[in-house]
Chains A and B, each alone.
Chain A
Amino acid sequence: MATSASAYENDIKNLKATELTLGLPGTHLQENIPIIDQEKSSASSSSNKRPLQLPHEETSPAQDCGSKCSNIAKNTDDDAAPPPSKAKIVGWPPIRSYRKNSLQEQSEAAGGIYVKVSMDGAPYLRKIDLKIYGGYPQLLKSLENMFKLTIGEYSEKEGYKGSDYAPTYEDKDGDWMLVGDVPWDMFVTSCKRLRIMKGSEARGLGCAV
C-alpha cells in the first residue's frame, strides 16, 4: 500500500500538470502544493501581479504621458500588489451580494455532500452531490455518463473487471479505497473525493485486493 501511495503522489503531480490553467507557465503561485492539501483560496492568487513581460510592452510606441505618469502607475502597482494569496479582491468578480449569498445558502441548505471527481487525463474536475444517488449503481452510471466511459462490473474479489477504469475514493483517513467495498451509507459519509483511475494502475488495484 505504501508504494501505491507514493505512486499516487506522483500521479497527483502529473495530474496537476495536465490541469487547464490560465496565465503563462510559471505564474501559478501554488504549483508545488499537492491538490489534496490545496485549500480553496480565492481567484486572486496571481491576480494583481502582471504576467511575465510580454513582447508588445517593449515595442510599444512612445507614450503620450510623461515619466511621472508611468512612475505613478508603477508605484501604485507595487504598493497595491497584495502578498497574501488568499486575499479576495473587493467587488470581483462583479456579482451582486444577494447572488453570492443565495448560492452559498443553497449549497449549505441543501445539505449536499459535494465531492470532487477527477479522472486521469481529463482537464476538468467535476463535482457531484453524493446525496442525490440512491446507491452505487446510480453513482457509477452517473460517472459513466459524465466522463463518457464504461466502468465495468464490480466484484468483491476482482474489483472492476472488464474495463480500463476503476473508481476510487479518498476516505476520511486519507486512504485511497476502491469504490464499492463498503456499504453505501458508510461510503457517502466517509468519501472525501473521487478519482477514476485508468490503465494498468486501475487493473493492478483490483488484483492486489
Chain B
Amino acid sequence: MKKAAYSFPEEVLEHVFSFIISDKDRSSISLVCKSWYEIERWCRRKVFVGNCYAVSPPILIKRFPELRSVTLKGKPHFADFNLVPEGWGGFACPWIRAMAGAYPWLEEIRLKRMVVSDESLEIIAKSFRNFKVLVLSSCEGFTTEGLAAIAANCRNLRELDLRESEVEDLSGRWLSDFPDSYTSLESLNISCLGNEVNLLALERLVSRCPNLKTLRLNRAVPLDRLPNLLRGAPQLAELGTGAYTSEMRPDVFSNLAEAFAGCKQLKTLSGFWDVLPSYLPAVYPICSQLISLNLSYATVQSPELIKLVSLCEKLQKLWVLDYIEDDGLEVLAASCKDLRELRVFPSDPFGLEPNVALTEQGLVSVSEGCPKLQSVLYFCRQMSNAALNTIARNRPNLTRFRLCIIEPRSPDYLTLQPLDDGFGAIVEHCKDLRRLSLSGLLTDRVFEYIGTYGKKLEMLSVAFAGDSDLGLHHVLSGCDNLRKLEIRDCPFGDKALLANAAKLETMRSLWMSSCSVSFGACKVLGQKMPRLNVEVMDESGPPDSRPESSPVEKLYVYRTVAGPRLDMPGFVWTMDDDSALRIS
C-alpha cells in the first residue's frame, strides 16, 4: 500500500485545505482519495447549493458537519418573470430548521428565490449565536415582523441585505429593534421595502455603526434626510438613495452637495427614484470616484444623463434606462474607458412605438469605445446582423451577453433576415462567453452556431426562437459546459429531449414552457433517468387527463440526489418511476 496519502498528518492537510475556497477546487480535493474526502468534509466551512432540491438538508448536514456559511437557491430563473406559479416551492423552512439543530455556529445564510417565513427568520434569530450575514435575494413570504426578530436578537449581525425581495411591510418600527448597544452593522439594504422606516432610529443606527460601508435606502426615505445620514457615515462606500426629489429649496441642495462631497470613499450609487433633474448636480463632486452607478429607476432625459455619465471617468458598471439614448451611449463610450458592465432597461416596455432614440447603434458605440466591456444586458427595439457582427468583433472579451429585442421574432431590420448570423458571430468571436440570452427572429441555424462555438457557455435563455428539435439538439449536444438552459415558446419537442437525456444529468436544470414536449415524453424521461426530477407543471389539471401526445404547459428538469420532492403543490407532477407506472 502506498504511503503517500498518509505522509502528512491530518492537521497539516486541513491547514492546507483551508486556503482553498473555491467550491470547484474543494470538490476536486474531495475526489482524490477517501482520506482527503474525510478531511475535506470536516473542514469545509462554506457551501453553495445552486438548486435546493438537488440535495436535502440531512444529506448536506451528514456530509458537512461544520459549516459556517450556506447559500441556497430555490425557484428557477424564469420565476422572475412570473412564469412560475405561486406555491411552486423553494421553501426555506425545512433547511433553516435542520441547520438550526446542526450548525449552532452558523454565521451566514444567503438565499435566492426562496420562500422565507417569519417563523424561519425567528428561528435564525434565536439559533445562531454568532450570526453575521443574512442575504435574502428575490425572496418572499416574510414580513417586517421577521425582520424585527433579526434586529432584536442578532448581536453580531454584520450584513442584512433584502435585495429585490417581496416583503410584507407592516410597519417601519422593526428598525428600532436594533438595541442601542448594537454597533456591528456593515451593510444594510432595505431598498425593496415599501413603507417608511423610523427615520430617527435609522439615523442613530447609521451614526453608531463605524464600520457601515453599504447603505441602500428605500424610496420612502426623503431626500432632505439624506445629508444627515451621510454625515453620520462619512466612511460609506456604497449608497442607495431614497426618492431623489424634494421641494426646490436652495438649502436642501447645498446641504446635499456638501454631504456628498464629505463621503470621500463613496464608490457606488443607486436609488434615484422620482429624480428631480435640478438635484442631480449635487452628486457631480463625487462622480470622478464612482465605479458603479445604478440609474435604472431614474426617469430623467438624455441631456441630464449625459452630463452625469461624462463625469464618471472611473465607471465600471452602469445600469440605466433607455432614456440615455444612442447619443448618451456614445458619450459613455468616450468618457468611461473602464466600463465592464452595461445594462440598459426599457422605460416603456409595453409601448408599441419607440419612445426614445435608442437603437442598436448605442450598443455598437459602447462596444467600440469600451475595451473592458464584458457584461451586457440591452433592451431595444431593433437590431441587425451587421451590428451584432461589429459588436462581436469589437468585444471578443464579452462573457455575458443578454439582448432583448422587445417585439418577439423581430428580424434584422435592415435586411429582414433572421438574426442567426449576428448571434452566431457573438458566440464565434466571444470565446469566453458564459451567459447568453437570445431574442429576435431566429431559426435552427443560430443553435447550430451556439452548439459549435459556445463551448464555454453555461447559461442560455431562449424565447420565441427556432424551427424544430434540431435547434434544441444542437445546443444539448454541442455546449460542453452548459449548466442552465431555459426555453419558452419554442417549437422544441420530444426527440431532442430524449436523445440528449444523459446530458441533462450534467446540467443543473432545464426549463421548457410553451414548447412542444409531450406528456408521454416526460414520462419516458422520468423513467429513464432516475437521478433527474422531471416535473411537469400544468394549471389546467392533471396531465394524464389528456392524451399522451399533448404538450405539457411547463417542464422543469433538474438533477438531484434527493429523489422526487415531497412539497409539490397541486399543479406540479413528478415523472418518476412510480408515478410513470401509476399514471399509465
Q: Which residues of A contact B (CB under 8 A)?
A: 19-20, 22-24, 38, 40-48, 50-51, 54, 56-57, 60, 63-66, 69-70, 72-73, 76-77, 80, 88-100, 102-103, 106-107, 109-110, 124-127, 132
Contact = CB atoms under 8 A, between A and B. Distances in A.
A101 to B, nearest CB: 10
Contacts of B514: 76, 80
21 contacts: A19-B353, A20-B382, A40-B352, A41-B352, A42-B350, A42-B352, A45-B352, A47-B409, A48-B408, A54-B417, A56-B418, A60-B443, A65-B468, A70-B468, A72-B493, A92-B463, A93-B346, A94-B404, A97-B82, A124-B354, A124-B357
Interface in B384-441: 404, 406-411, 413, 416-418, 437, 441
A76 B516 contact: yes
Interface in B343-371: 345-357
A64 B516 contact: no
A103 B407 contact: no
Interface in B314-359: 345-357
Chain A at the B interface: mostly helix, strand, loop or mixed?
loop
B469 interface: yes
B473 A102 contact: no
Nearest to A132: B277
Interface residues on B, range: 35 or more
A25 B273 CA distance: 40
B473 to A, nearest CB: 7
Given A22-B381, A47-B408, A106-B297, A77 B416 contact: no
B411 A72 contact: no
Chain B at the A interface: mostly helix, strand, loop or mixed?
loop
A88 B407 CA distance: 11
A109 B274 contact: yes
Given A93-B406, A103-B348, A103-B349, 18 more contacts: A22-B413, A43-B350, A48-B408, A50-B409, A51-B411, A69-B493, A73-B467, A73-B491, A76-B515, A76-B551, A77-B491, A90-B82, A94-B404, A95-B349, A95-B379, A103-B297, A106-B299, A124-B356
Contact of B297 (A23, A56, A80, A102): A102
B411 A23 contact: yes
A64 B379 CA distance: 34
A120 B379 CA distance: 27
A69 B469 contact: yes
B90 to A, nearest CB: 17
A94 B81 contact: yes
A163 to B, nearest CB: 23
A103 B516 contact: no
A22 B274 CA distance: 32
Nearest to A44: B408
B286 interface: no
A24 B406 contact: no
A40 B404 contact: no
Contact of A72 (B351, B463, B488, B551): B551
B524 to A, nearest CB: 15
Contacts of A24: 411, 416
Contact of A73 (B192, B407, B463, B468): B468
A107 B299 contact: yes
